[in-house]
Structure 1
Amino acid sequence: MTYPEDEEHPRLLLHNFLSAQECKELEFIHKSNCTVGYRPNVFSTTLSHLIATNCAHLIMPFVPIRERLKEKVEEFFGCEYELFIEFTGLISWTRGASIGWHSDDNRDYLKQRDFAAVCYLNNYGDDFKGGLFHFQIGDLATIVPSSGDVVIYTADNRNIHAVNEVIDGERLTMALWFSRDAAHDEDAKLISLLSQTPLRNNGPELLLPLPASSNMYWFSPEHASSYEFGFDICCARLHVLGYDVVYSEEKISCSNVSELLIERLRLARADELFDYEFLNILHALQVVQFYCWKASDLKSTEVENIIKVVPLLPSQREKSLCLKSISLKDLHLAESIFSAESAKHCYWAHLTVAVAMWGDYAHRLHKELVMCLPHWKTHQSIFQVSFDDK
């Protein structure tokens, strides 16, 4: 924990506030659900987006972190029980992303913001280059992102800050904003969304993600909505990890990007086809990113060859290449933006286990959400709920 000596610029750096496990879990959630962000070369995952895409259960890992961090912000700034969380989001900065000197209250729609926190989920130098966080004046002038560290500061002109351009890799953060104004309470809005979402204790179909509109996943170098340039984020993340997409329906057109998000598909690698049908592109991406997250655990897992791996037919390869030309208009740009990803050697049997583990993980979080929601509705606040028998 690093305290500033300059009280004119109140800020605090907390080392190892998040565990390695928490950082990796948030990384999994972001890389399997993110959409185009609020500025060029930035990608984001908000809690409301998770709810809207049938992934409400994925907000559960955020709950204890948000609670701990709000308490720390209130303690440091001496405003116990006064704050509301205005926004929680995962944000990644990729090659070319930067932000000039600014304060978080320099726009009218941000005037209600009192404090901000940035949680770093990966490491400067190892996972990305560039992207240093700078305060314009005062102590702790430069923050070197390190996994698990958190910087908190007042969201006003006492803490004008900037972020250097990211040169390579993907800089992962979780951002939280805090306000004293209850009208901007994120919890009330999220609880309202959850109350409108059909939640049951069973039904595996409820845990399968449903993609949002295609323009939310389409990255263009000029932030244009046209599909003539750029790439689909989901397809790009699968591609850089070495996977090709093979759609199950022969009728799928090679000209409709939005159609590709919601159709059933299988994954291929080199000349092998993984003969398991995913519901849609987000389903496949979540399982693959879960596989990447749990790769070290899976290496020590004894598995049987229970999934059928078949040769990729020439006709399937041709169709896959045709579809790739539509979803990845600029292949070089996709590989450049997500250059931190690296294709991992794929053991299909381990991916089979990952499918089951991903399902168990989603069901556990869903059960927790169903149990917590009545308490959240009563108190109009999202908080950790203790149960004697989970």
Structure 2
Amino acid sequence: MRSQLQRHGNRRPSAPPPPSLPLSRRLQGTPNFSLSPRVSFNPHPLVLNPVLRGQELEFIHRSCSTVGYRPNVFSTTLSHLIATDCGHLILPFLSIRDRIKEKVEGFFGCEFELFVEFTGLISWCKGAYIGWHSDDNRPYLEHRDFAAVCYLNNHEEHFKGGLFRFKDGGPSFVTPVAGDVLMYTADIRNIHSVDEVLDGERLTLTLWFTRNNEHDEDAKLISLLSQRLLNCEVETLKFCFPSPPPDNMYWFSHDQFGFDIRNARLNILGFQLFSSCNGADSSSDPLELLSKPLRLGRGDEIFHKEFANGLHALQVVQFYYWKAPLISAARRKTEGNIKPRQPFVTEKKGVSKLDLPCDHQIVKRVLGHTCEMSDYSFSWDDFDLAIEMWEEYVKSLHRDLIVLLPYWVSNQSIFFVNPSELQKCDI
């Protein structure tokens, strides 16, 4: 444990980072993992499979994503999670991030030289594409040395189109398979494109790596976390409720139409949002009401509990569908022993449905069928249990984050170790 912490703490060079090594030197040595059978050996790129399971990251993205940097693209960055009081949700990224970084360093022969420049979840929806380019093709991107694209869902099963193509060398294209990781140099030796997505939502975890420690994302993230969390109470649930940023970050424009992606992701799963605001507040802009306390409805039934805001409601709903098999199994074990809770009300007095623009046909064309969870029959009893599980999930992550943050500040490096083990270490 001590050596693990020291490795993270000591990897920051006090001198300027070393110059980029020639490709021949970076490729010396034999990597300690297997090549995918879908590609023959090539100095770059490399496809590894399978490396990760991404259900938790998919839950985070569908709960927290905003409009992305390109048309028809959604993104979830670590800095965005921190800025919306969901900093605890960066923890599920960390072990995956470290594993991929080690594999990139091992394959390209640059052990302990790299810093993570960017970590983010990116989904490409119907109509998204990008032409031939390298990942360092702008002056503000010249520091990028390597890239890794981690696929979180399957081509043809969850989306159509969206193949990753290389202009020169092999493989000529990569078919996305959940769990696979594609690694390549970020320069002109790996000019590539992505075909237009024809249907569904193509989801990836994307990372860029640099030798230039001035572009290390850890220092920026630690600063953001320190500003928001160092003086907070460990056990206070309110610190785990998401705080929405400006509404325009969730507004998806499509031709002459548009929709709020928070509301759209709820609607496509069969939920509606209701406000308990009265009087003058009820006539406010419905988008503004998404940042205020809300209730969820489904059909003619309205759930009896109130949510802090629309993001809170969306996060719990996505958690419910992520954990649906586990929740259903837990309920079956207790059937007959526990009376149904009936955790809903049928009367709509004192509440009003949020009248948000949402063309369901456009939403389905953009988001595709991947948001529909028809395999699981909905139960308010299960949903009530999901809220309890979500609260314990976020509180547990928050406790771990509060324990880890001082070590991150001390080492100026973000890493994950079991917090209970830290208390045994004399650092």
1:294 aligns with 2:328: no
Aligned to 1:5: 41
1:234 aligns with 2:262: yes
8 Å contact 1:104–1:156 — kept in the other structure? yes
Q: Distance in 1 between matches of 2:212 and 2:40?
A: 27
Q: Give the TM-score normalised by structure 2.
A: 0.84
Aligned to 2:51: 17
Aligned to 1:388: 421
Q: Distance in 2 between matches of 1:352 and 1:329?
A: 27
Q: Distance in 2 between matches of 1:315 and 1:267?
A: 14
Q: Structure 2 residue aligned with 1:84, among 68, 90, 115?
A: 115
Aligned to 2:346: 311
8 Å contact 1:240–1:343 — kept in the other structure? no
Q: Distance in 2 between matches of 1:373 and 1:146?
A: 34
Q: Distance in 2 between matches of 1:209 and 1:281?
A: 9
Relative to structure 1, the CA distance from residue 52 to residue 37 in structure 2 (aligned partners, 3 Å threshold; closer, same or farther) is same
Q: Give the TM-score normalised by structure 1.
A: 0.92
8 Å contact 2:88–2:401 — kept in the other structure? yes
Q: Distance in 1 between matches of 2:417 and 2:329?
A: 34
Deviations 1:61-109 (A, max 9, x none): 0110111111110010000111000000000111111111111111111
Aligned to 1:342: 372
1:97 aligns with 2:143: no
Q: Structure 1 residue aligned with 2:406, among 356, 365, 374?
A: 374
1:246 Cα offset (Å) = 1.0
Relative to structure 1, the CA distance from residue 97 to residue 254 in structure 2 (aligned partners, 3 Å threshold; closer, same or farther) is farther
Structure 2 residue runs of 5 or longer lacking an equivalent are 1-34, 332-337
Q: Determine which structure has more spread, i.e. the larger CA radius of gyration.
A: 2
8 Å contact 2:264–2:358 — kept in the other structure? no
Q: How many residues are treated as equivalent by the alignment?
A: 374
Structure 1 residue runs of 5 or longer lacking an equivalent are 223-227
Question: Partner of 1:73: helix, strand, or coil?
Answer: helix
Query: Which AA in structure 1 matches 2:304?
Result: D
Deviations 1:207-248 (A, max 9, x none): 1111111010111126xxxxx841111000000000011111
Relative to structure 1, the CA distance from residue 149 to residue 80 in structure 2 (aligned partners, 3 Å threshold; closer, same or farther) is same
Please, which moves more after superposition, 124-133 or 228-237? 228-237
1:255 Cα offset (Å) = 5.1
8 Å contact 1:307–1:352 — kept in the other structure? no
Aligned to 1:363: 395
8 Å contact 1:93–1:166 — kept in the other structure? yes
1:360 Cα offset (Å) = 0.6
1:38 aligns with 2:49: no
Q: Distance in 1 between matches of 2:342 and 2:71?
A: 41
Q: Distance in 2 between matches of 1:182 and 1:237?
A: 38
1:140 Cα offset (Å) = 1.9
Residues 179-218 of structure 1: pairs in structure 2 closer than 5 A: 179-198=210-229, 199-218=232-251
Please, which moves more after superposition, 337-346 or 211-220? 337-346
Relative to structure 1, the CA distance from residue 185 to residue 315 in structure 2 (aligned partners, 3 Å threshold; closer, same or farther) is same
Task: State the identity as a percent.
Answer: 52
Relative to structure 1, the CA distance from residue 57 to residue 135 in structure 2 (aligned partners, 3 Å threshold; closer, same or farther) is same
1:156 Cα offset (Å) = 0.7
Residues 323-334 of structure 1: pairs in structure 2 closer than 5 A: 323-324=354-355, 327-334=356-363
Deviations 1:247-278 (A, max 9, x none): 11124345514412211111111111111111
Residues 120-159 of structure 1: pairs in structure 2 closer than 5 A: 120-159=151-190
Question: Partner of 1:64: helix, strand, or coil?
Answer: helix
Question: Partner of 1:92: helix, strand, or coil?
Answer: strand
Q: Distance in 1 between matches of 2:295 and 2:348?
A: 13
Q: Distance in 2 between matches of 1:105 and 1:294?
A: 39
8 Å contact 2:234–2:402 — kept in the other structure? yes
Q: Distance in 2 between matches of 1:300 and 1:294?
A: 10
Q: Distance in 2 between matches of 1:137 and 1:314?
A: 64
Q: Structure 2 residue aligned with 1:250, among 239, 258, 278?
A: 278
1:283 Cα offset (Å) = 0.5
Please, which moves more after superposition, 275-284 or 299-308? 299-308
Aligned to 2:15: none
Q: Distance in 2 between matches of 1:335 and 1:71?
A: 39
